[in-house]
Amino acid sequence: MTSPDGNLFQQQEANRRRTVWLVIGFILFFAWLGFGGDYIWSLSSRHPFPWLGIVLTAAAVITAWYSYKTGPEKVLWATGAQELTDPQTDAERQLANVVDEMAVAAGVPRPRIWIVPDDDPNAFATGQDLLHSHIAVTQGLLRICNRDELQAVIGHELGHVKNLDVRLMTTLAALVGAVLLVRDGMGRMMRGGGPRRGGRGKSGGPLVALLLALWLISWILAPLITQLLALAVSRRREYLADAMSAQFTRNPLALASALEKIESAEAPTTSIKRGAAHLCIADPLGRHFTNREGWLADTLATHPPMGMRIARLKGMGYAALKKAAQPL
């Protein structure tokens, strides 16, 4: 399966590089917050040792490593997902069979299967690599999808697994949560005491005011920037995963039908929070930007317009039917 960016192996390698640069950028950003804060502090008062920079940089390294290693488990835990190890109902047995079939069709190891106790239909994939991947579906998805539609949804998620989208997107989800957590902690610390102007020593003047403003803006914008990055990463990959599902199932109309049912269902998916929204096959938050086009929608939506995705899939399906109907 090819993509506009190259073949499958190039896509996988690109995702590996993006994950590495994402982690490096995360660490450098916190180094700036730490050592930048130390520098501002040194200009406005006595501050001989850069303890803030050392602590924040070390915390960023540890957080990035921990997020990478435990991101999938944290995402699944946050949704309340329960692993399907011993199917009991017809729906659970069908899900297990479909995952087995589609893993063979995709040429990837069978992922672990999870069910999210939520009535809104949705699905997502997470994991670190092909050998450590997970697919989760909601109870609502099992209720509304027939077997062909369920196959198509699972094929879409396995497309993310095969491209190693899950590594990048899961790491990003974990780092978004880490940024929010650290920002809140630093906010409490700063309210209790932190870099202040007017202490003994150099006053700093306008330079201190400018650097302090940039430093504070960085703290304020950090969660927004990481979330916007997560949205951009997701949007670019949904079309490719749709196309891979069509390839695996040979039935793009089934995914179009599943997306129509998902789109017409009530939202939001309450079990899936904002930090993991970009992992899902459809926006779990029910934001109206998903169905719009233009700069604002491209900036704020987690997914491409659902209507456009469905139209592309129907175009694939009708082209295939027309080709099959032509005489040899």
CA distance 227 to 172: 9
> Helix axis angle, 252-264 relative to 206-249, nearest 10°?
130
Q: For 156-173, write each residue's pLDDT tens digit.
A: 999 999 988 887 777 777
CA distance 82 to 72: 13
CA distance 208 to 212: 6
Query: Which of 92, 149, 157, 263 is flagged as catalytic?
Result: 157
Residue 235 CB neighbour total at 10 angstroms = 19
pLDDT-based confidence at residue 144 (cuts at 50, 70, 90): very high
CB 36, CB 56: distance < 8 Å = no
* Whether residue 185 has pLDDT greater than 60: no
Q: Which own/partner pairs from 215-218 qualify as long-range (CB within 8 Å, at least 24 positions apart)?
A: 215/33, 215/36, 215/37, 215/40, 218/29, 218/32, 218/33, 218/36
**How many residues are listed for the chain in this entry?**
328
* Whether residue 302 has pLDDT greater than 90: no
Is the sign of the CA dihedral 176, 178, 63, 110 positive or negative?
Answer: negative
CB 30, CB 182: distance < 8 Å = yes
Domains observed in the chain: 2-70+167-224 (no CATH), 79-166+232-325 (3.30.2010.10)
Cα 324 to its chain centre, rounded Å, is 37
Classified as helix, coil or strand, 88 is coil
Kindly state the tokens that stand for 121.
Answer: 């239909």
CB 238, CB 303: distance < 8 Å = yes
pTM for this one?
0.74
Q: For 42-78, write each residue's pLDDT tens digit.
A: 776 666 678 878 888 888 888 778 777 788 888 898 8
CA distance 305 to 55: 42
The three-point CA angle 111-117-121 to 5° equals 80
Cα-based torsion angle of the residue sequence 281, 284, 289, 294 in order, rounded to the nearest 10 degrees: -20
Above pLDDT 70, what percent of the chain? 73
The one-letter amino acid code at 46 reads R
pLDDT-based confidence at residue 112 (cuts at 50, 70, 90): very high
CB 150, CB 183: distance < 8 Å = no
* Whether residue 288 has pLDDT greater than 90: no
CA distance 193 to 196: 8
What separation in angstroms does the CA of 147 have from each of 29, 93, 102, 150, 182?
Answer: 46, 11, 12, 5, 44
pLDDT for res 61: 85
Q: For 230-242, write each residue's pLDDT tens digit.
A: 565 556 678 888 9
Query: Average pLDDT of the chain?
Result: 78
Identify the CA nearest to 165 among candidates 6, 13, 5, 1.
13
pLDDT for res 177: 67
Cα 98 to its chain centre, rounded Å, is 24
260 is catalytic: no
The three-point CA angle 96-99-104 to 5° equals 130
CB 116, CB 81: distance < 8 Å = yes
CA distance 213 to 101: 56
Identify the CA nearest to 127 among candidates 63, 78, 71, 62.
71
